[in-house]
Structures are given as structure tokens and as C-alpha cells.
Amino acid sequence: MALLIKNGEIVTGSTRTVADIWCEGETITRIGCDIPAPAGTEVVDAAGKFVFPGFIDPHVHLHLPFMGALAKDTFRTGTQAAVAGGTTTVFEMCCPSRGEEPEDGFAAWKAQAEGSACCDYSFHMGVTKFDERSASQLRRIVESGVQSFKIFLAYQGAFGVDDSELFRTLRLARELGVITAAHCENAALVAELQSQLLAEGKSGCEWHHASRPPFVEAEGVHHLMAFAEAAGAPVYIVHLSCREALEEAVRARLRGVDVRIETLIQHLVLDKSSAELPDFEGAKFVMSPPLRAKDHQAVLWNALAQGLVDAVGSDHAPFDFKTQKTIGRGDFTKIPNGIPAIEDRIPLLYTHGVCSGRLDLHTFVNVASTNAAKIFNLFPKKGTIQPGSDADLVVFDPAYRGKISAAGQVSAVDYSAFEGFEIHGRPAVVTVRGEIAARDGKFTGSPGRGKFLPRPRGRNT
């Protein structure tokens, strides 16, 4: 059935106009005024609303065995939550353990997604070890359409790689023309600070930040920048959280390192006082890099507005409070790291970014959709509204007022880190490749309809 979105204010990364959008099957085929609706057309009245390109979350974990727990959301529930919140494409971190072969890990992650995902998806291929055998497997994985690697400088003993592995991964990435996403924290410093704190009897969640202060992240970024420069490889810093780390990245960019930067909605709207809440409540807010002191937020918002930071992700890492975060009661180093945010990223970014005047509408679209599509080779299939693009559209109601509550969320997690946060504006209708897949914060689409997105070679930024 054809779909017609009528009279919405269409906002892309660079244009803004009131018009109709005609979608034939899965694709946008026409944009114009007064497009007629023949019988049988599904018509969405978007008058008084914005129409944005489907939002892209460049960093999620929907299948994540980590720190003794398995992430609570699945590709089914996590992508339903994504779509309800306006996200129509996700980039999942495929994170095999060091003992696993890359192709086995990749197959396992793909099997989790196939037939379950409710929006389109791609992967960043986690490189959690590097040797000749894994290198040839990584080549084949890239050949199959995964044009990005993911490495961890932290989590030594789990996903972390050593410096030789880092350098060899970046050299392979350069050879293959793929970009490498990186978690930047100095693993040795984290380990030293953690054992020092525990030895002093400082074992509650309020000490998590002290084990990973800004200099730990800044050193990680500095380290990655040196290796990226040496290898001549493009890199993408995930979840950058603080001024010190940003300074390292910008310094490297000024000397020619090809570096893109992502921050998270958590770091933009939450601060470290949440992780200091008593009675283990702070565990809900334990993630890495940690939530920072409030003054870092203004730095990150400015960096987004000025184009220094390219993207806002959710790093959705959904661990239940009651049964999973509790693994770390009495020892903060064992709390499964992560704060779920896949469902709330867009309404929060709009509320705290656009409504507060920190971001204009085009920057909002760019950092929440278009830039990720460009950096990771999905543009213009995804990330914009133009004939030929996938009909992934968000009809956004700026007049909506509401509050976030775990009780009403689609995600399977038992809490929300944004409980009680006020929301100004939310997606009213979300389409995934021409199908209406969410209305008013509820998933209404066909479960399992999401497709793997093989990405072409080469970057279009």
C-alpha cells in the first residue's frame, strides 16, 4: 500500500519546507505540494508537526553478555523500544569474547537479529583479539557489508586489546577502508584505581567515578589518536563524556587525524550525582566512561552545536536493576556497566537540545541521524528525506508534553534512568521502510521486519 504524509514541515540536515511525502512500497518516491491520495492510500496528517528522517542510533547493545550478565533487552524488545522513540536504524556492537573466533561471533550476533529486529540494523564488528587467523575472518566480514570495526581500550581480560593488536587492527582497517570505533579509557589505570579504592574500603557505587576520572578517558583518547595517526586510519570515538577527552580529540583533529566523535544522551542530561545515590540506587547510573560532574554538559552541548562532536548515541546497555546490577552490591567494580537509553534518546535530545535553544533543528537532525548515515556509509539510503531514500520517517509532535516512566516504556528493563524527566515533543508516527511501525510511543509494526543493512565500501563524508 502507498503511504502519503501530508502537510508536515519536513526538516533534514540542511533543508526545511512544508510539503507532502509520497512513499511507494519501502521508498520515498516524491516530495511535493498537494499530492493526491488515490483510494487505498494510507494517509498521515502531519499538519503542525515536523517530519524528520528516521533517527539512527550509532551505538547500541541488544545482545550483550557482559560482566556476568546478559543484557535484558533482545533485538525484538530493544528495537521495538527504538522505533517507539523514533529510531529506525541501529548499529549494534558485535562483541565476541576473546576466546571466540570473529566469524563465530558475527554469526551468533546475526542469528540474534535475524527475524527478531523490528527496525533495520548494521553492526560494528568488535575486534577483541588480533592474529592472522582473525584478520582473514575480519576481511570476509567486511566483504559481507560490515564497514566498521569496534575496539575497546578498556575491559582488559574481556573485550580489551593490547597495543600491538590495536595497531594491527587499525592498519587492517586502513587497508580495507573501514572506520574503527573505539572505547577510550586506559585499562591499566582503571585496574590500579579500582584496587586502590577497594583496598581503602571504598566499594560502593559512589566510587565508580573515582576509578575512571576524566584523565583516564583523556589518556585513552590520546592513546587512540597516536595509534590512528601512526596507522593513518580513520577512527570514531564512542561515548566521549568530558572536556579533557574532547581536548585530546580536537588537538589530534587539528593535526590531521581523521577522527569522528560521538557523545551520549546520558552524558548530556545526567551527571555523576545520580551514581552517588544511597542504598545502591546509584547502580542504575553506573556506566563507563562514568557520568561526569555537571559542568562537562555545557562543553558537550557546545561541541555538538559547533560541529566538534558528530553524533549522539544511546549506548543502550540494558541491565535490570533488581537482578543484574545487584551483582555488584558491595563491590562497584562488578556492577554490569550501562544505562539504557534507546527509547528516550530522541525525545530527550529534542527537549534538552532544541527546546532549550542549544541546538537548531538541522543540527538536531544531523547529530541524531544524518551524520551517522554519512560516517558509516548509509547515506542517502538512510539519514535524509529525498526521492530514493528508504521511507523511514518520524512525524514528530512538538506540542506533546509528558514524563518518562519505566512503567510506560517499551524496553524490557525494569527501570529508567530518566524516571520523571519531562519531555517536550515526541514521535507521533514512525515509519520503517514505508510501514507505520509506531504511534504515540507504542510499537505497532510487524515484529521481525528489520533488515540487515550491508554497507557499500567507501565513506561519503
Binding site for Zn ion (CB under 5 A): 183, 315
Nearest-approach distance from CB 155 to ligand URP, in angstroms:
7
Q: Which of residues 288-307 bind ligand URP (CB under 6 A)?
A: 288
Q: What nine digits make up the cell of 283?
A: 547502580
User: Which residue lies nearer to ligand URP by CB, 80 or 288?
Assistant: 288
Residue 338 site contact among Zn ion, ligand URP, none (CB < 5 to 8 Å, cut-off depends on kind): ligand URP
With CB under 6 A as the contact rule, the residue among 63, 76, 183, 223 that binds ligand URP is 183
Nearest-approach distance from CB 64 to ligand URP, in angstroms:
7
User: Which residue lies nearer to Zn ion by CB, 165 or 315?
Assistant: 315
Residue ranges in 22-101 assigned as alpha helix (H) = 75-84
Determine if 92 is a binding residue for ligand URP (CB under 6 A): no
Nearest-approach distance from CB 247 to ligand URP, in angstroms:
21
Q: What nine digits make up the cell of 198?
A: 577497594
Residue of closest CB approach to ligand URP: 337
Give the three-class secondary structure for 123.
strand
Nearest-approach distance from CB 118 to ligand URP, in angstroms:
22
- Taking CB atoms within 8 Å and a gap of at least 24, the contacts of 250-256 are 250/308, 251/225, 252/221, 252/222, 252/225, 252/228, 255/229, 256/229
Q: Site map for ligand URP, 214-243, x if CB under 6 A? A: -------------------------x----
Q: How many residues bind ligand URP (CB under 6 A)?
A: 9
* Whole-angstrom distance, CA of residue 324 vs CA of residue 172: 37
Which DSSP state fits 164? H
Q: Which of residues 330-389 bind ligand URP (CB under 6 A)?
A: 337-338
Cα 420–Cα 422–Cα 423 angle in degrees, nearest 5:
130
Closest of 456, 442, 446, 430 to residue 89, by C-alpha: 430
Nearest-approach distance from CB 271 to ligand URP, in angstroms:
16
With CB under 6 A as the contact rule, the residue among 310, 315, 320, 435 that binds ligand URP is 315
Residue 252 site contact among ligand URP, Zn ion, none (CB < 5 to 8 Å, cut-off depends on kind): none
User: Which residue lies nearer to Zn ion by CB, 23 or 90?
Assistant: 90
User: Which residue lies nearer to ligand URP by CB, 342 or 428?
Assistant: 342
Nearest-approach distance from CB 239 to ligand URP, in angstroms:
6
With CB under 6 A as the contact rule, the residue among 6, 49, 61, 382 that binds ligand URP is 61
Closest of 195, 139, 144, 194 to residue 171, by C-alpha: 139
With CB under 6 A as the contact rule, the residue among 184, 187, 193, 287 that binds ligand URP is 287
With CB under 6 A as the contact rule, the residue among 317, 361, 394, 430 that binds ligand URP is 317
Distance of CA 365 to CAs 114, 152, 266, 300, 387, Å?
28, 28, 18, 17, 18
User: Which residue lies nearer to ligand URP by CB, 239 or 243?
Assistant: 239
* Whole-angstrom distance, CA of residue 161 vs CA of residue 442: 40
Phi, psi of 372, rounded to the nearest 5 degrees: -65, -40
Residue 371 site contact among Zn ion, ligand URP, none (CB < 5 to 8 Å, cut-off depends on kind): none
Closest of 85, 118, 119, 92 to residue 394, by C-alpha: 85
* Whole-angstrom distance, CA of residue 72 vs CA of residue 412: 6
User: Which residue lies nearer to ligand URP by CB, 316 or 352?
Assistant: 316
* Beta strands, E only, 214-310: 235-237, 259-264
Q: How many CB atoms lie within 10 A of CB 226?
A: 15
Q: Site map for ligand URP, 242-281, x if CB under 6 A? A: ----------------------------------------
Kind and range of the H or E run holding 269: helix 265-269
ω before 380 within 30° of 0 (cis)? yes
Q: Can you give the binding site for ligand URP, defined by CB under 6 A?
A: 61, 183, 239, 287-288, 315, 317, 337-338
